[in-house]
Amino acid sequence: MSRLLTIRKRLLSENLDAIIVTNLKNIYYLSGFWGTAATLLLTQKTQYLLTDARYSSEARDLATDFEIIETTDTSEQLNQLLKKEVIRQVGFEDTLSFAAVKRLQTILTVAELKPLTDFVELQRQVKSESEIATIKKACQISDQAFQDLLKFVEPGKTEIEVANFLDFKMREFGASGTSFDTIVASGIRSALPHGRATHKPIDFGDVVTVDFGCYYNHYASDMTRTFFVGDANPKLKEMYRVVQSAQEAVIEKSIAGLTYGEYDRNARAIIDKAGYAEAFTHGIGHGLGLDVHELPYFSKVSNSPLLENMVITDEPGIYLTGVGGIRIEDDLLITKQGVEVLTLAPKELIVL
Ligand SMILES: [Mn+2]
C-alpha cells in the first residue's frame, strides 16, 4: 500500500522508528478501518490496529493489511508492542488529548514520545483517483439537492425548513449525512458569514445564502449559493456580480504551481477594486476530503504551490452589516491544465 510506504519514508527522514496514529480519519486513510475507537501503530516493518471488542471483527474485514489486536488497555498494549519491536523514538499526533498523552508518558517504559503536527494530514492534501471520484459524487449530491431547493423555497418558509429540506434531499440522493450544520441566512442575517438557520421566515425581497454539504462514502462536499426571493435590492445585486466575477477569476486563473497567496489574491483584487476590501472578511478557501475543512489552508502571503489533485474550495464573499451578504462557493480539483469544477449547480444571479 503506497500510503503506508510514503508514511514510512517520512518517518525515516524524521528519525522516528514508529508512529502512533489516533485521529480516526487518519486511521481510515491508512488502514481502511472506519469506527469510533481505534489506535494504529506503524513501524518500519509491522503495522498494528488496536481496537476493542465492538470493532475487532469489522477491523479484520476492513483493515486487511494490519494485525488486529483486541484490547481493553490501549496504552499498556502499545507499551508491550513498542518493547517487542524495540522502538526508541515514536511519533504521536499532537491532537491527542492532554490526558491521553500523560497516560502514555506514564506507561511507556522504553520508547520516547515525539509530538507530530499534521503528519498524516499533509499527505491527505493530494487526492487519489478514487478519492476524487468519491468527492465528485458528494458534490453531485449537493448539486441535485440545490436544484430541488429552488423549487421549494418561497416566502413564508423558515430558514430551518430550508435547511431541513437540503439535509433530507442530500440523504435521499445517497449521502450518509451532512458534512456540517447547514447554514441558511436570509435578509440582513446573510451578512453573518456563518449564520445558523433560525425560525425566521424568508420574506419577499430577501437575499438567501445557503452553505451546505454532505458526506458520501466518508468524503465531504461543501458549497454555497446565494439567491434572491422576489425583487432584489440593487446594492445586493451589484455585490452579487462582484463576488461572482471574483469567484470565476479564481477558476480561470488557478493551475497546479500557483501559490496560495496568488490563489487568494485573484479573488481579493477584484473585490478590493470594487470597493469592498473591508467586507471580504475571511480566507478564500480550504482543502476538502475526509474532513470538510482540511489542509491546505490559504494565507494571503504564503508561497506554497497548489499541487495537482488537491481538492480545494473557492469561496469569496462580501458582507455588509444591516444590508446583507453574498457568498458563492465551489469545490475545485487542481490539475496541470487548470481546474475542474466539481460543484456544478447554477451560479448566475437567480431571482425566485
Ligand atoms: Mn467552505
Looking at residue 9, which CATH number applies to its domain?
Answer: 3.40.350.10
pLDDT at 195: 86
pLDDT tens digits, one per residue of 139-198: 999 999 999 999 999 999 999 999 999 999 999 999 999 999 999 999 999 999 888 999
Residues of the chain with pLDDT under 50: none
Cα of 29 vs centre of ligand 1, distance in Å, is: 22
Domain final residue pick, 72, 93, 124: 124
The per-residue pLDDT for 301 is 85
Domain count, the chain: 2
CA of 315 to the centre of ligand 1 (A): 7
Say yes or no: 117 and 193 in one domain. Answer: no
Cell triple for 212: 451546505
Q: What is the 3-state secondary structure (H, E, C) of 31-53?
A: HCCCCCCCEEEEECCCEEEEECC
Domain boundary pick from 124, 142, 159: 124
C-alpha 345/C-alpha 297 separation (Å) is 24
For residues 213 and 274, membership in a common domain is answered with yes
Would you state the pLDDT for residue 232?
82
Q: Is residue 346 part of a domain?
A: no
What is the CA(218)–ligand 1 centre distance, in A? Answer: 17
Q: Are 312 and 182 in contact (CB under 8 A)?
A: no
Q: How far is the CA of 230 from the centre of ligand 1 (A)?
A: 27
Task: Look at residue 1 in the predicted model and tell me its pLDDT.
Answer: 53
Q: Which residues surround ligand 1, an ion (CB under 5 A)?
A: 222, 313
Helix (H, G, I), strand (E, B) or coil at 312: strand
Same domain, residue pair 196 and 49:
no
pLDDT of residue 111: 84
Instruction: Identify whether 75 is part of a domain.
Output: yes
Return the sign of the alpha-carbon dihedral for residues 202, 208, 211, 216.
positive
pTM higher than 0.85, yes or no?
yes
Is residue 67 within 8 A of residue 47, CB to CB? The reply is: yes
Domain range for 201: 129-341
What pLDDT does 109 receive? 86
14-33 core/surface letters (b: 16 or more CB in 10 A; e: else) = eebbbbbbbbbbbbbbbbbb
Q: In what helix (H) or strand (E) does residue 145 lie, and over which residues does it extend? A: helix 129-152
Task: Tell me whether residue 347 is in a domain.
Answer: no
CATH of the domain at 335: 3.90.230.10
Measured in Å, residue 290 CA sits from the centre of ligand 1 at 14
